[in-house]
């Protein structure tokens, strides 16, 4: 029979996945906006979009980090609950 600890571990995994996928999606959206802006601008103004790329990479990294750590914490909680 599942216990509260098992439900809490599954909730941690689901919440981490939702937050992480939101961050990754935001990063990908920023990269798409940057790409559209680069394609619609003239040659001399293309250097001003470096900060958007840096922010998008940071969002993607944070999303993958939260996803992996959340899954690890959730799996550890499930393993310790099942003992």
For the chain, domain boundaries: 4-82
As a whole number of angstroms, the distance between CA 31 and CA 55 comes to 9
Instruction: Kindly state the tokens that stand for 26.
Output: 């935001």
Q: Is the pTM of this model over 0.75?
A: yes
Instruction: Kindly state the tokens that stand for 80.
Output: 């310790």
User: For 48, phi and psi rounded to 5 degrees?
Assistant: -85, 0
Per-residue pLDDT of the chain (83 residues; tens, 9 = 90+): 567 778 888 888 999 999 999 999 999 999 999 888 888 877 666 677 888 889 999 999 999 999 999 999 989 988 888 77
77: CB partners within 8 A, 6+ apart: 5, 8, 9, 12
């Amino acid at each position: 029979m599942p216990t509260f600890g098992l439900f809490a571990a599954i909730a941690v995994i689901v919440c981490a996945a939702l937050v992480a996928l939101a961050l990754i999606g935001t990063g990908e959206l920023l990269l798409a906006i940057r790409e559209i802006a680069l394609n619609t601008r003239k040659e001399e103004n293309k250097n001003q979009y470096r900060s958007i790329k840096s922010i998008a990479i940071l969002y993607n990294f944070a999303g993958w980090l939260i996803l992996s750590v959340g899954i690890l914490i959730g799996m550890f909680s499930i393993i310790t609950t099942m003992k």
